[in-house]
Amino acid sequence: MAIGDLFTFVRGLLLVVPWALDLVLMDLILSFLLPFSSFFPNAVYNASSAVAFVNWNWIQCIFEVFNGGKITISGDVLPEGESAIVISNHVSWTDFYMIQALAVRAGMLGRCRWFAKLELRWVPLLGWGIWAMGMPMVSRNWLQDKKELDRVFAGVVVKKWPTWLISFSEATRYTTEKYELARAWCKENKKPLPKHLLYPRTKGFVTTVQHLRKAPHVKAVYDITIAYGHNHKFLEAPAIWESLSCGGLSSSRGYKFHVDVKRIPLVDLPEDDAGLAKWLEARWIEKGDFLEAKREEWARN
Ligand SMILES: *[C@@H]1O[C@H](CO)[C@@H](O)[C@H](O)[C@H]1NC(C)=O
Protein backbone atom coordinates (compact mmCIF):
# COMPACT_ATOMS: atom_id res chain seq x y z
CA MET A 1 0.00 0.00 0.00
CA ALA A 2 1.46 3.36 -1.01
CA ILE A 3 1.84 5.98 1.68
CA GLY A 4 -0.89 8.14 0.16
CA ASP A 5 -3.34 5.26 0.17
CA LEU A 6 -2.49 4.49 3.76
CA PHE A 7 -3.11 8.12 4.69
CA THR A 8 -6.50 8.09 2.94
CA PHE A 9 -7.41 4.84 4.65
CA VAL A 10 -6.60 6.18 8.12
CA ARG A 11 -8.33 9.46 7.31
CA GLY A 12 -11.43 7.53 6.26
CA LEU A 13 -11.43 5.50 9.46
CA LEU A 14 -11.08 8.60 11.62
CA LEU A 15 -14.08 10.16 9.88
CA VAL A 16 -16.28 7.10 9.63
CA VAL A 17 -15.75 5.26 12.92
CA PRO A 18 -17.29 7.98 15.15
CA TRP A 19 -20.20 8.25 12.73
CA ALA A 20 -20.68 4.47 12.74
CA LEU A 21 -20.67 4.48 16.54
CA ASP A 22 -23.42 7.08 16.42
CA LEU A 23 -25.28 4.79 14.02
CA VAL A 24 -25.05 2.02 16.64
CA LEU A 25 -26.33 4.45 19.24
CA MET A 26 -29.13 5.48 16.89
CA ASP A 27 -30.15 1.83 16.47
CA LEU A 28 -30.16 1.37 20.23
CA ILE A 29 -32.33 4.44 20.81
CA LEU A 30 -34.72 3.44 18.03
CA SER A 31 -35.01 -0.07 19.51
CA PHE A 32 -35.70 1.43 22.91
CA LEU A 33 -38.41 3.65 21.41
CA LEU A 34 -40.14 0.85 19.50
CA PRO A 35 -42.27 -0.49 22.38
CA PHE A 36 -43.65 3.00 22.96
CA SER A 37 -44.69 3.63 19.39
CA SER A 38 -48.19 2.23 19.79
CA PHE A 39 -48.86 4.38 22.86
CA PHE A 40 -47.16 7.61 21.85
CA PRO A 41 -46.87 7.39 18.07
CA ASN A 42 -46.38 11.11 17.49
CA ALA A 43 -43.76 11.56 20.17
CA VAL A 44 -41.88 8.50 18.95
CA TYR A 45 -42.01 9.78 15.38
CA ASN A 46 -40.60 13.10 16.52
CA ALA A 47 -37.93 11.47 18.64
CA SER A 48 -36.78 9.10 15.92
CA SER A 49 -36.70 12.02 13.46
CA ALA A 50 -34.44 13.93 15.85
CA VAL A 51 -32.14 10.94 16.35
CA ALA A 52 -31.94 10.37 12.61
CA PHE A 53 -31.25 14.06 11.97
CA VAL A 54 -28.06 13.89 14.02
CA ASN A 55 -26.76 10.83 12.17
CA TRP A 56 -27.70 11.96 8.67
CA ASN A 57 -26.46 15.50 9.19
CA TRP A 58 -23.20 14.01 10.39
CA ILE A 59 -22.55 11.95 7.28
CA GLN A 60 -23.61 14.95 5.19
CA CYS A 61 -20.94 17.02 6.96
CA ILE A 62 -18.32 14.35 6.27
CA PHE A 63 -19.16 14.61 2.59
CA GLU A 64 -19.68 18.36 2.18
CA VAL A 65 -17.41 19.88 4.84
CA PHE A 66 -14.58 17.44 5.53
CA ASN A 67 -14.33 15.89 2.08
CA GLY A 68 -15.21 18.99 0.10
CA GLY A 69 -18.06 17.62 -1.98
CA LYS A 70 -19.33 20.86 -3.50
CA ILE A 71 -22.98 20.44 -4.43
CA THR A 72 -24.47 22.96 -6.84
CA ILE A 73 -28.23 23.42 -6.75
CA SER A 74 -30.68 24.74 -9.33
CA GLY A 75 -34.42 24.94 -9.87
CA ASP A 76 -37.15 25.93 -7.45
CA VAL A 77 -36.47 27.16 -3.94
CA LEU A 78 -38.29 24.77 -1.62
CA PRO A 79 -40.50 26.16 1.14
CA GLU A 80 -39.27 25.42 4.63
CA GLY A 81 -40.87 22.55 6.50
CA GLU A 82 -43.18 21.43 3.69
CA SER A 83 -44.12 17.77 3.35
CA ALA A 84 -43.73 16.32 -0.10
CA ILE A 85 -43.57 13.30 -2.34
CA VAL A 86 -39.99 13.25 -3.56
CA ILE A 87 -38.93 11.45 -6.72
CA SER A 88 -35.47 11.26 -8.21
CA ASN A 89 -33.28 9.56 -10.76
CA HIS A 90 -30.83 7.06 -9.33
CA VAL A 91 -27.18 6.95 -10.29
CA SER A 92 -25.11 6.12 -7.26
CA TRP A 93 -24.88 5.79 -3.51
CA THR A 94 -23.95 9.48 -3.51
CA ASP A 95 -27.51 10.38 -4.60
CA PHE A 96 -28.25 10.18 -0.90
CA TYR A 97 -26.05 13.24 -0.27
CA MET A 98 -27.67 15.20 -3.10
CA ILE A 99 -31.20 14.70 -1.79
CA GLN A 100 -30.10 15.33 1.78
CA ALA A 101 -28.50 18.61 0.71
CA LEU A 102 -31.94 19.82 -0.37
CA ALA A 103 -33.61 18.42 2.76
CA VAL A 104 -31.13 20.22 5.04
CA ARG A 105 -31.86 23.52 3.32
CA ALA A 106 -35.63 22.96 3.60
CA GLY A 107 -35.40 21.98 7.27
CA MET A 108 -36.72 18.48 6.55
CA LEU A 109 -33.65 16.29 6.99
CA GLY A 110 -34.97 14.39 10.02
CA ARG A 111 -38.28 13.91 8.22
CA CYS A 112 -36.84 12.04 5.24
CA ARG A 113 -38.29 8.57 4.82
CA TRP A 114 -36.92 6.49 1.99
CA PHE A 115 -38.48 3.70 0.04
CA ALA A 116 -35.97 0.93 0.66
CA LYS A 117 -35.49 -2.43 -0.95
CA LEU A 118 -36.54 -5.29 1.29
CA GLU A 119 -33.05 -6.81 1.03
CA LEU A 120 -31.62 -3.82 2.89
CA ARG A 121 -33.07 -5.31 6.06
CA TRP A 122 -30.04 -7.59 6.18
CA VAL A 123 -27.44 -4.84 5.96
CA PRO A 124 -25.89 -4.63 9.44
CA LEU A 125 -26.79 -1.48 11.43
CA LEU A 126 -28.28 0.35 8.45
CA GLY A 127 -31.04 -2.18 7.83
CA TRP A 128 -32.15 -2.27 11.42
CA GLY A 129 -32.37 1.52 11.56
CA ILE A 130 -34.40 1.68 8.37
CA TRP A 131 -36.80 -0.91 9.70
CA ALA A 132 -37.07 0.59 13.19
CA MET A 133 -37.81 4.03 11.72
CA GLY A 134 -40.78 2.55 9.93
CA MET A 135 -39.55 3.36 6.46
CA PRO A 136 -41.36 1.58 3.65
CA MET A 137 -39.49 -1.59 2.77
CA VAL A 138 -40.69 -2.90 -0.52
CA SER A 139 -40.09 -5.82 -2.81
CA ARG A 140 -40.62 -5.29 -6.51
CA ASN A 141 -44.17 -6.55 -6.23
CA TRP A 142 -46.55 -3.70 -5.53
CA LEU A 143 -49.46 -5.93 -4.57
CA GLN A 144 -47.39 -7.75 -1.97
CA ASP A 145 -46.24 -4.42 -0.68
CA LYS A 146 -49.73 -3.05 -0.20
CA LYS A 147 -49.85 -3.74 3.53
CA GLU A 148 -46.50 -2.12 4.09
CA LEU A 149 -47.54 0.94 2.13
CA ASP A 150 -50.87 1.27 3.92
CA ARG A 151 -48.95 1.41 7.18
CA VAL A 152 -46.57 4.10 5.95
CA PHE A 153 -49.27 6.14 4.23
CA ALA A 154 -51.39 6.04 7.41
CA GLY A 155 -48.59 7.78 9.30
CA VAL A 156 -48.64 10.63 6.83
CA VAL A 157 -52.36 10.81 6.05
CA VAL A 158 -54.01 9.91 9.38
CA LYS A 159 -51.37 11.06 11.84
CA LYS A 160 -50.39 14.04 9.64
CA TRP A 161 -46.69 13.48 10.16
CA PRO A 162 -44.40 15.90 8.35
CA THR A 163 -42.56 13.76 5.82
CA TRP A 164 -40.49 13.74 2.70
CA LEU A 165 -41.39 10.38 1.19
CA ILE A 166 -38.54 9.68 -1.17
CA SER A 167 -38.34 7.16 -3.97
CA PHE A 168 -36.16 6.45 -6.96
CA SER A 169 -38.66 5.99 -9.74
CA GLU A 170 -36.35 3.88 -11.87
CA ALA A 171 -36.15 1.39 -8.96
CA THR A 172 -32.53 0.63 -9.80
CA ARG A 173 -29.32 2.51 -10.51
CA TYR A 174 -28.52 3.86 -13.92
CA THR A 175 -25.77 2.02 -15.76
CA THR A 176 -24.93 2.02 -19.45
CA GLU A 177 -25.79 -1.70 -19.64
CA LYS A 178 -29.23 -1.12 -18.16
CA TYR A 179 -29.67 1.82 -20.51
CA GLU A 180 -29.23 -0.50 -23.48
CA LEU A 181 -31.92 -2.77 -22.03
CA ALA A 182 -34.18 0.24 -21.54
CA ARG A 183 -33.56 1.27 -25.15
CA ALA A 184 -34.69 -2.14 -26.38
CA TRP A 185 -37.70 -2.13 -24.08
CA CYS A 186 -38.79 1.34 -25.19
CA LYS A 187 -38.45 0.39 -28.84
CA GLU A 188 -40.54 -2.74 -28.33
CA ASN A 189 -43.21 -0.87 -26.38
CA LYS A 190 -43.12 2.22 -28.62
CA LYS A 191 -42.18 4.56 -25.82
CA PRO A 192 -39.78 7.48 -26.11
CA LEU A 193 -36.43 6.79 -24.47
CA PRO A 194 -35.34 9.49 -22.00
CA LYS A 195 -31.70 10.58 -22.26
CA HIS A 196 -29.33 9.48 -19.47
CA LEU A 197 -32.19 7.79 -17.61
CA LEU A 198 -33.88 4.44 -17.40
CA TYR A 199 -37.61 4.23 -17.97
CA PRO A 200 -39.57 5.18 -14.83
CA ARG A 201 -41.75 2.65 -13.04
CA THR A 202 -45.09 4.30 -12.61
CA LYS A 203 -46.98 2.04 -10.24
CA GLY A 204 -45.29 3.11 -7.02
CA PHE A 205 -45.56 6.76 -7.94
CA VAL A 206 -49.24 6.52 -8.84
CA THR A 207 -50.05 4.67 -5.59
CA THR A 208 -48.13 7.19 -3.52
CA VAL A 209 -49.76 10.24 -5.11
CA GLN A 210 -53.27 8.77 -4.90
CA HIS A 211 -52.83 8.12 -1.17
CA LEU A 212 -50.92 11.17 -0.06
CA ARG A 213 -53.03 13.69 -1.92
CA LYS A 214 -55.62 12.92 0.78
CA ALA A 215 -53.27 14.53 3.31
CA PRO A 216 -53.84 18.29 3.30
CA HIS A 217 -50.30 19.05 4.49
CA VAL A 218 -48.73 17.24 1.54
CA LYS A 219 -48.92 19.87 -1.17
CA ALA A 220 -46.34 19.03 -3.76
CA VAL A 221 -44.19 16.60 -5.69
CA TYR A 222 -40.50 17.44 -5.72
CA ASP A 223 -38.89 16.13 -8.85
CA ILE A 224 -35.15 15.88 -8.31
CA THR A 225 -32.60 15.45 -11.07
CA ILE A 226 -29.09 14.42 -10.09
CA ALA A 227 -26.03 14.85 -12.30
CA TYR A 228 -22.37 13.97 -11.80
CA GLY A 229 -19.28 14.72 -13.77
CA HIS A 230 -15.74 13.44 -13.39
CA ASN A 231 -12.88 14.15 -15.77
CA HIS A 232 -15.33 14.75 -18.60
CA LYS A 233 -17.17 11.54 -17.86
CA PHE A 234 -20.84 12.23 -17.31
CA LEU A 235 -22.75 10.55 -14.47
CA GLU A 236 -19.57 9.24 -12.86
CA ALA A 237 -19.75 9.49 -9.06
CA PRO A 238 -17.29 8.49 -6.36
CA ALA A 239 -17.69 5.08 -4.72
CA ILE A 240 -18.95 4.90 -1.13
CA TRP A 241 -15.55 4.60 0.47
CA GLU A 242 -14.06 7.34 -1.71
CA SER A 243 -16.89 9.71 -0.76
CA LEU A 244 -16.22 9.02 2.93
CA SER A 245 -12.44 8.91 3.05
CA CYS A 246 -11.01 11.28 0.45
CA GLY A 247 -10.63 15.01 0.91
CA GLY A 248 -10.93 17.54 -1.92
CA LEU A 249 -13.60 15.58 -3.78
CA SER A 250 -14.51 18.59 -5.91
CA SER A 251 -11.31 20.66 -5.85
CA SER A 252 -8.51 18.13 -6.31
CA ARG A 253 -10.39 15.02 -7.40
CA GLY A 254 -12.50 16.92 -9.89
CA TYR A 255 -15.96 15.58 -9.12
CA LYS A 256 -18.95 17.69 -10.06
CA PHE A 257 -22.16 17.26 -8.09
CA HIS A 258 -25.34 18.90 -9.26
CA VAL A 259 -28.92 18.62 -8.10
CA ASP A 260 -31.94 20.27 -9.68
CA VAL A 261 -35.39 20.34 -8.14
CA LYS A 262 -38.78 21.18 -9.55
CA ARG A 263 -41.68 21.76 -7.16
CA ILE A 264 -44.99 20.72 -8.72
CA PRO A 265 -48.16 21.40 -6.69
CA LEU A 266 -50.23 18.22 -6.28
CA VAL A 267 -53.35 20.03 -7.49
CA ASP A 268 -51.68 20.42 -10.89
CA LEU A 269 -51.28 16.66 -11.34
CA PRO A 270 -53.82 14.54 -13.24
CA GLU A 271 -56.59 12.94 -11.18
CA ASP A 272 -56.62 9.45 -12.64
CA ASP A 273 -54.02 6.70 -12.53
CA ALA A 274 -53.38 6.56 -16.25
CA GLY A 275 -52.93 10.34 -16.37
CA LEU A 276 -50.43 10.20 -13.50
CA ALA A 277 -48.42 7.47 -15.20
CA LYS A 278 -48.27 9.54 -18.39
CA TRP A 279 -47.29 12.59 -16.40
CA LEU A 280 -44.34 10.76 -14.84
CA GLU A 281 -43.19 9.47 -18.20
CA ALA A 282 -43.33 12.98 -19.63
CA ARG A 283 -41.33 14.30 -16.66
CA TRP A 284 -38.65 11.71 -17.36
CA ILE A 285 -38.25 12.93 -20.94
CA GLU A 286 -37.82 16.48 -19.62
CA LYS A 287 -35.33 15.34 -16.99
CA GLY A 288 -33.36 13.62 -19.72
CA ASP A 289 -33.22 16.85 -21.69
CA PHE A 290 -32.07 18.70 -18.59
CA LEU A 291 -29.30 16.15 -18.07
CA GLU A 292 -28.21 16.39 -21.70
CA ALA A 293 -27.98 20.19 -21.37
CA LYS A 294 -25.90 19.74 -18.22
CA ARG A 295 -23.61 17.30 -19.98
CA GLU A 296 -23.05 19.77 -22.81
CA GLU A 297 -22.44 22.61 -20.38
CA TRP A 298 -19.83 20.58 -18.48
CA ALA A 299 -18.21 19.36 -21.69
CA ARG A 300 -17.60 22.98 -22.72
CA ASN A 301 -15.65 23.93 -19.61
C1 LIG B 1 -43.96 16.63 17.04
O2 LIG B 1 -43.36 17.74 16.38
C3 LIG B 1 -44.25 18.67 15.80
C4 LIG B 1 -43.45 19.77 15.15
O5 LIG B 1 -42.54 19.31 14.24
C6 LIG B 1 -45.17 19.24 16.84
O7 LIG B 1 -46.12 20.09 16.23
C8 LIG B 1 -45.87 18.13 17.58
O9 LIG B 1 -46.65 18.69 18.64
C10 LIG B 1 -44.88 17.13 18.14
N11 LIG B 1 -45.63 16.04 18.77
C12 LIG B 1 -45.29 15.49 19.91
C13 LIG B 1 -46.23 14.49 20.47
O14 LIG B 1 -44.26 15.77 20.49
Supply the pLDDT for residue 145: 83
Q: What is the number of the ligand 1 atom nearest to the C-alpha of 81? A: 5
Q: 43: Cβ below 6 Å to ligand 1?
A: yes
Rounded distance from Cα 42 to ligand 1 centre (Å) = 7
The answer on pLDDT for 142 being more than 70 is: no
Tell me the per-residue pLDDT of 46-72, one tens digit each, with 9 for 90 and over: 999 999 999 999 999 999 999 999 999
Most confident of 33-42, 183-192, 286-295: 286-295
- In sign, the C-alpha dihedral spanning 192, 196, 198, 203 is negative
Instruction: Give the residue whose CA is nearest to atom 1 of ligand 1.
Output: 46
Q: Compute the average pLDDT of residues 125-139.
A: 86
Q: Compute the average pLDDT of residues 2-23.
A: 93
Instruction: Give the residue whose CA is nearest to atom 6 of ligand 1.
Output: 46
Q: Compute the average pLDDT of residues 199-225.
A: 94
In this structure, CATH architecture of domain 3-300? 3-Layer(aba) Sandwich (3.40)
Ranges of each domain in the chain:
3-300
Q: 50: Cβ below 6 Å to ligand 1?
A: no
Q: Give CA–CA dist 98/158, Å, rounded.
A: 30
Q: Compute the average pLDDT of residues 121-145.
A: 83
Q: Compute the average pLDDT of residues 220-230.
A: 98
Q: Give CA–CA dist 258/178, Å, rounded.
A: 22
Rounded distance from Cα 125 to ligand 1 centre (Å) = 27
Rounded distance from Cα 161 to ligand 1 centre (Å) = 9
% of the chain beyond a pLDDT of 90: 82
Instruction: Give the residue whose CA is nearest to atom 2 of ligand 1.
Output: 46
The answer on pLDDT for 45 being more than 80 is: yes
Q: Give CA–CA dist 113/207, Å, rounded.
A: 16
Supply the pLDDT for residue 172: 87
Q: Give CA–CA dist 250/67, Å, rounded.
A: 8
Q: Tell me the whole-structure pTM to 2 decimals.
A: 0.94
Facing residues of 226 across strands? 259
Q: Compute the average pLDDT of residues 225-235.
A: 96
Q: 14: Cβ below 6 Å to ligand 1?
A: no
Instruction: Give the residue whose CA is nearest to atom 14 of ligand 1.
Output: 43
> Which residues, in sequence order, are CB contacts of 103 under 8 Å at separation 6+?
109, 111, 112, 164
Q: 250: Cβ below 6 Å to ligand 1?
A: no
Supply the pLDDT for residue 1: 65
Rounded distance from Cα 215 to ligand 1 centre (Å) = 17
42, 51, 164: residue to mutate for ligand 1 pocket, most atoms within 8 A of CB:
42
Q: 42: Cβ below 6 Å to ligand 1?
A: yes
